[in-house]
Structure 1
Amino acid sequence: MLDKFKKPYDPTEVEGPLYKKWEESGYFNPDNLPGECTEPYTIIMPPPNANGSLHVGHALFVTLQDLLIRFKRMQGYKTLWLPGMDHAGFETQIVYEKKLEKEGRSRFKMEREEFYKETLAFTLENKKFTEGQLRQLGASCDWSREKFTLDPDIIKTVYDTFKKLYDDGLVYRGVRPVNWSTKYQTSLSDLETRAVERKDPLYYLKYGPFVLATVRPETKFGDTAVAVNPNDSRYKEWVGKEIEFDGLIGRVKLKVIADEYVDPEFGTGVVKITPAHDPNDFEVAQRHNLPAVEVIDRYGRLTEKCGKYAGMKVMEARAAVAKDLAEKGLVEKVDAEYTHTVLVNYKNENDVLEPRILPQWFVKMAPLADLARTAVEDGRVHFVSEQYRKIFFHWLEQLRDWNISRQIVWGIPIPAWFRPKTAQEGASEEMYIGEKPPGEGWVRDTDTFDTWFSSGQWPFAALGYPDSPDFKNHYPTSVMETGHDILFFWVMRMIMLGLYRTGEVPFRDVYLHGLVRDAQKQKMSKSKGNVINPLDVAEKYGTDALRMALLIGNTPGTDMALAEDKIRSYKHFANKLWNVARFVLENTDQGNALSPGSQGLALVAKDQECQAQFDALATDITHDLEEYRIYLAAEKIYHYLWDEFAANILEESKSILKTGTPEEVASRKRLLMSVLSGSLKLLHPFMPFITEEIWGSIPGTKELLMVAPWPQVRE
């Protein structure tokens, strides 16, 4: 049994067979756990996108969640870690469109059904691949309960939620400005945008008696008013009047209005109002009953309303309009280096978004935000990091109604139907909400749901709300562990929708981890060549080494640096543990292997001190894990095993075992085995593979380490 310890630890020989043994044991399933497990401990896995391989951020969440599950499983909880995969609507469509581009194809030349079927096949193939990667990282989740966000029961729950929101007046179809991607031909919610700073010319244009400043002269064909601040004495006499002046394609007539929105300090204190292409201007137009004239189409080209500029892309038109205005003497001056912000697609900074007015489905956020705010204030939802609790409240105050419509093919179709009304009925169309139309003549809404709308229902939907035993036994879940970068996209919405549908919070605790960056704290990217592929380094150094590298030094909510050298160092630690185990197993009585001094067999005074030191460590680590001080727990067990057990206790044992009295030798052997077996238990959630492999070599271990009882804690 000890022959394997004669060569260095080789994770490539151990990890695959061990994971298979774990999976075949059935212990990933809470219903199969030994003993009297009754109190549930549940984590719903944040579903990775089924459109590519796992990155190092995924490896971090797998490590953290697997650690918590293994810890609680050993403590005797009925642990369920429910895995799943996300169809990831917009993001997957982007990935698949890029694939089509490489093949010389385009989704715009495909039928919707053809594109959907191809994307589904692509996603399901990736899904299987990703499941294998999760196994490679040691994820002890219950694969028998795995869910996919396009499973029929998940879709039904999403439809039921939409219908309930609609019936309760919390969903409405509104014509409002949306953030439009001309590149991907869909709208994006406010949270899917990013404001970036850039420099553009600021043009001071002559509008009859006024001069006004704008960075977007190409939108002037959609102007429906000019506005001033009501308290600006410079322009009071003009308010309510109409101005008329020469434009580029004929005479222009605009009304002068007064509105608090106008900043008298910006430019000259006069602004043009272009409701169809600026969300603030749209709000002004609503207050003043102004029309909205669209002059930029869905492809980012000027429309036929723009005369000779029709068909030009925005930047081309901007240059042409500015040039022609200057030639007509209608440009007073230009600030060539004006710094301002523009909204871009959060996934692609080159995709500058255009405001467009479209009929879309919106969720009223204020009532849902009140539910979430109260749940956090009264402690039903607890943020591990106070910093993110404050940020959560700040974001609740900033929320606008949520646009959940997406003009994409891949995703869950919105269950809305329209039918034209007759002239006698006095309305343009009637609408029906439901999976199937109520009769003939109905046309389905072609939009799909924002992915975050379905993902926001993940905890209760994945557990089979409302009637399944899993929902009744495991909801609310114990903790939501995920990245701080999706607090707003996902965590906030899960709390809102979970409370709205079930009346209970979806999880008790929120643990947010930071981003994983390179050694210089730079963001990892393929273009920089600094990406660490977690599966590659796991293959090279062992999954346990990767896990420890991700845990030590990783404080909640804070970005961490990761270098390959760090991972390599924990491979050395694994080898140290392997050699420690070899020494203990070679120098102890195999027949009395699991008889620690704390269970009644005598230890000499010195060994009692060592045992007490270990018991105190076990207590500390337990408390750290229960309080989510995972990084501290990892550091403590690492330093104890390396600096105390290996460097001091083992070295001291060599002479005791050779020259000690029979009582001292027997005591030391019991101590060594006690500390080794206890250390393997403490370390198992962090480094599951090597600890399980060593555990299996200890005589008298009948059960797998993954279900061995956690060390007793001193009060």
Structure 2
Amino acid sequence: MDKTYQPQDIEQQWYQTWEERNYFAPSGKGESYSIVIPPPNVTGRLHMGHGFQDTIMDALIRYHRMMGHNTLWQVGTDHAGIATQMVVERRLEREGIKRTDLGREKFLDEVWKWKEESGGMITQQIRRLGASIDWTRERFTMDPGLSAAVEEVFVRLYDEGLIYRGNRLVNWDPKLHTAVSDLEVLNEEEDGFFWYFKYPLADGATTDSGDNFITIATTRPETLLGDTAVAVNPDDPRFKSLIGKWVDLPLCNRRIQIIADDYVDPEFGTGCVKITPAHDFNDYEVGKRHNLEMINIFTIDAAINDNAPQAYQGLDRFEARKKLVTDMEAAGLLLKVEPHKLKVPRGDRTGVVIEPYLTNQWYVAVKSLAEPAIKAVEDGDIEFVPKQWENTYFAWMRDIQDWCISRQLWWGHRIPAWYDIEGNIYVGCSEAQVREKYNLPADLELKQDEDVLDTWFSSALWTFSTLGWPDDPETLKTFHPTDVLVTGFDIIFFWVARMIMMTLKFTGQIPFKKVYITGLIRDEQGQKMSKSKGNVLDPIDLIDGIDLEALVAKRTEGLMQPQLEKKIEKNTRAQFPDGITGYGTDALRYTYYSLASTGRDIKFDLGRMEGFRNFCNKIWNASRYVIMNTEEKGIQFSATDVTALKYNAHLSLADRWILSRLQQTVAQVHEHMANYRFDLMSQAIYDFFWNEYCDWYVELSKPVLWDADNQPEKAQAARLTLLSVLESSLRMLHPLMPFITEEIWQKIATLIGINTAGTSIMLQAYPQVDKDLINTQSESDIDWVKGVIVGVRNIRGEMNIPPGKLFPALLNKTNSEDQRRLSDNLANLLKLAKLSELRILTDDEAAPVSATQLYQDMEILVPLADLIDKNAELARLDKEIGKLEKNLQGINGKLNNEKFVQNAPTELVEQEKERQRSAQAALAALTEKVQSIKAL
């Protein structure tokens, strides 16, 4: 093995080997285990959320493959209607070409060309994560097979009356000219205003206070042009006498009625609410309840249309707002304007303000589909992990609204519906099928619907359409239902719920048995990662590294505001003064697993990555040590030797201990994997390998290996144990760290009789618990040995005794077990603790002045009389105490300053208090040490 671990030298090479040898394909043997990947957008680049979820899925797949299951990780990408169309439109616009210049067919040709050229970037990046996906089965939502499934589902639902066309309110993007889903709308707080307007009462009516008007407050004055009522709460005494009366709608030459509805909160605003059913979702529901007229005042560009007074027609909505406010003020109908913070809905792709808009769209009536989907989770057929997410699922599903599935785009699955000249609708998978199905004459002119389906419609079929439904029943039978879906909480409704509904409807099966909901990756401060904040991390950068200038350029790419670019550059330089170090894939993966707790938000800490890169180095160096003590000495074992290891009479206490600890760790790992606690699983393996195998067993084995000439059988047993435990550890670790484990396993497996030719660690069996190797006595005995060694080392460190200096130590307050353990392990204790003598204090001896450590009830004593220069040590401690006192004085000064405590951020004050506690504890410890030395 090379002296140092270099991930870039092994990772891509091994991945290419795995893929070329088709190791990721199902084995065809054993019980099936399958996962479908949440399909990333074909436009996408790998982000931290993808990386997090994909590494979790890979751990599950690799684990179950090694457990002997017939595993399939089904991959595919989503055509991403809006995102892809925008990418191609922008490319064409750079050449001075508009989509409309080309026409639909030629534009779609351009989209397919782009997809073939650049649409696979994210799948190449997923490979960099080590994802053991069966790439031969890669799917795309607009592949012929998947498109046929989409059409089949649409037609069946339409024929059952579950898909219909209706005029309803949708989220409308005025730039894209399409309806968008709630998930594509960002609601962020912005500065706005409340405008208070007078609405004159008609027919001489007055309020109880004698006013001839009522006051309404609005954040969107332009929608006044579409008002069809004013609502008050039926129990509000201020307005009871006005219910049923009318107001003259300002500037519009229309009268609208005052209605009563519980929707109105008497405590909010003025208690009177303008109702604009065609441009507000809440108002739309009020309008339906009261059978109000719905007046659409906007064009598809969000300009004022012909339904509004002529003075406003053709104006952009925000220009109309300014004019309307000016006109209301001129008419004496503007009472006041107040600043107001409000949530503004913006399109996530365009950034423009989304308008609630009344338009004809296609809908799925989902009530009947939701009932069995709710029952599947209630009955436990589908389980959410963590379980509390079931409440979120139920809350949405029990109040579910019909689903708008049409989009006014060109790229996507075109709706399989045709119209004749009179507007009659005919639905089928093709025009030919439509003519046959409806017995239409050949000369009847038909035109296909221009709209395409919402991307979530095809995604809802993902688990069964990718497995060949409806034409490949065998594959579906083998791998469906899938075992687990790994996804984020933000799409429980948009994707998870719809998959459950559609899959139950069309296959009679659940789509998956478990839904593992991951948290959201945030930065180290807990902030959401966003380009505008300059805190986005790219998984590939973390793997390969990137210099500062390239990192700054990536973060400011596409951001046109100079001030924002400067802010991002400043943030980047502050956070990464030298760019990002390349840590390798295995270190990144392990960081993800360590963070995979049950929390909603996950703070990504680069310090952890540094730690896990060090873990990789530890694994590498430990393996080199084992190889040096076996292969380089010409020692080879057989598989029979490993099998018979537990019966080996020459095993030392340390050998029996590490074999026992391995079994306990394997048991924990299986339990944590079953519970999706990747954080606990990764911690258990880390603790075992670093703390027990490397820090203790390797050290405990050294005296035996040093004495190999005198105890050859014991040395061989130690070497076999070193190799066997290392090989088992690599298999245990492989699902989490695939690259380094493969590289090392290929080098050491042959040393214990495994033929590695043409095979891989991923095809080996995952470690299982061997109860015969669990030895609680050896675990207790080694814990005692460790306790003594750690106690002596602590004293050595506290008293600044040089590392190589030998000195005697005593044990006091011992029992018979302590005495046995000392007798059995004395040689090792003297070597590893670097002692000249270790004995038990006799009953008639007075304990000398000593530094003391406790292990359980036993005292570990190191007499100090001959070990230290008393005066020099007191002088050193006095100097340290002086520094601490000065530091503590500064901290106390801050905390005694009322202005600091009141005005500083809470976290800064707490930080200073923690520094104070730490300094006080250190000062007390040093003072105690001074007293003990003075007593010598």
Matched, 1:221 2:225: yes
Q: Is the 8 A contact 1:413 1:446 kept in 2?
A: yes
Deviation at 1:104, TM superposition (A): 4.8
- Corresponding residue of 1:288: 290
Deviation at 1:141, TM superposition (A): 1.0
- Corresponding residue of 2:251: 248
1:432 to 412, 427, 447: 427
- How does 1:125-274 map onto structure 2 within 5 Å? 125-209=117-201, 210-213=213-216, 214-244=218-248, 247-248=250-251, 251-274=253-276
Greater relative contact order (CA < 8 Å, ≥ 6 in sequence) = 1
Closer, same or farther: CA 102–678 of 1 in aligned 2, 3 Å: same
Matched, 1:558 2:558: no
- How does 1:534-613 map onto structure 2 within 5 Å? 534-539=539-544, 540-588=582-630, 590-592=635-637, 594=639, 595-596=641-642, 598=645, 600-606=647-653, 607-613=655-661
- Corresponding residue of 1:44: 36
Closer, same or farther: CA 612–52 of 1 in aligned 2, 3 Å: same
Distance in 2 separating the partners of 1:591 and 1:500: 59
Distance in 2 separating the partners of 1:71 and 1:222: 60
What code does the residue aligned with 1:393 have? F
Q: Is the 8 A contact 2:167 2:361 kept in 1?
A: yes
Closer, same or farther: CA 636–252 of 1 in aligned 2, 3 Å: same
Per the alignment, in what secondary structure is the counterpart of residue 656 of structure 1? helix
What TM-score comes out, normalization by structure 2 length? 0.71
Distance in 2 separating the partners of 1:618 and 1:669: 21
Per the alignment, in what secondary structure is the counterpart of residue 338 of structure 1? strand
- Corresponding residue of 1:713: 769
- How does 1:338-487 map onto structure 2 within 5 Å? 338-347=340-349, 350-421=351-422, 429-436=424-431, 437-438=434-435, 439=442, 440-466=444-470, 467-487=472-492
Deviation at 1:604, TM superposition (A): 1.8
What code does the residue aligned with 2:116 have? L
What code does the residue aligned with 2:73 have? W
Deviation at 1:572, TM superposition (A): 2.0
Closer, same or farther: CA 485–253 of 1 in aligned 2, 3 Å: closer
Q: Is the 8 A contact 2:652 2:718 kept in 1?
A: no
Q: Structure 1 regions of 5+ residues with no counterpart? A: 422-427
Distance in 2 separating the partners of 1:603 and 1:171: 75
Distance in 2 separating the partners of 1:110 and 1:276: 34
* Runs of 4+ displaced beyond 6 Å: none
Per the alignment, in what secondary structure is the counterpart of residue 388 of structure 2? helix
Distance in 2 separating the partners of 1:137 and 1:155: 29
Deviation at 1:165, TM superposition (A): 1.6
Matched, 1:59 2:51: yes
Per the alignment, in what secondary structure is the counterpart of residue 380 of structure 1? coil
- Corresponding residue of 1:510: 515
Q: Is the 8 A contact 1:593 1:670 kept in 2?
A: no
The answer to which of 625-634 and 433-442 deviates more is 433-442
Q: Is the 8 A contact 1:363 1:401 kept in 2?
A: yes
1:22 to 18, 27, 31: 18
- Corresponding residue of 1:686: 736
What TM-score comes out, normalization by structure 1 length? 0.92
Per the alignment, in what secondary structure is the counterpart of residue 352 of structure 1? coil
Closer, same or farther: CA 9–420 of 1 in aligned 2, 3 Å: same
What code does the residue aligned with 1:222 have? G
- Corresponding residue of 2:328: 325
Closer, same or farther: CA 357–151 of 1 in aligned 2, 3 Å: same
Q: Is the 8 A contact 1:603 1:671 kept in 2?
A: no
The answer to which of 697-706 and 68-77 deviates more is 697-706
What code does the residue aligned with 2:717 have? S
Deviation at 1:585, TM superposition (A): 1.6
What CA deviation, in whole Å up to 9, does each residue of 1:488-535 have, x standing for no partner?
A: 221111111111111111000111111222222222223333222212
What CA deviation, in whole Å up to 9, does each residue of 1:383-408 have, x standing for no partner?
A: 11022122111222332111111111
The answer to which of 523-532 and 689-698 deviates more is 523-532
- Corresponding residue of 1:424: none
- Corresponding residue of 1:668: 718
Deviation at 1:276, TM superposition (A): 2.0
Per the alignment, in what secondary structure is the counterpart of residue 336 of structure 2? strand
Distance in 1 separating the partners of 2:624 and 2:239: 88
Deviation at 1:574, TM superposition (A): 1.3
Distance in 2 separating the partners of 1:461 and 1:105: 36
State the aligned residue count: 697
Distance in 1 separating the partners of 2:764 and 2:117: 36
Deviation at 1:346, TM superposition (A): 4.6
Distance in 2 separating the partners of 1:307 and 1:517: 50
Deviation at 1:447, TM superposition (A): 0.9
What code does the residue aligned with 1:636 have? A
Deviation at 1:483, TM superposition (A): 2.0
- Corresponding residue of 1:704: 760
Closer, same or farther: CA 282–433 of 1 in aligned 2, 3 Å: farther
Distance in 2 separating the partners of 1:565 and 1:184: 42
Per the alignment, in what secondary structure is the counterpart of residue 591 of structure 1? coil
Distance in 2 separating the partners of 1:88 and 1:544: 30
Q: Is the 8 A contact 1:295 1:306 kept in 2?
A: no
Q: Structure 2 regions of 5+ residues with no counterpart? A: 202-212, 436-441, 545-581, 772-936
Please give the root-mean-square deviation of Cα atoms over the aligned residues, in Å: 2.2
Deviation at 1:49, TM superposition (A): 1.0
What code does the residue aligned with 2:143 have? D
Closer, same or farther: CA 433–289 of 1 in aligned 2, 3 Å: farther
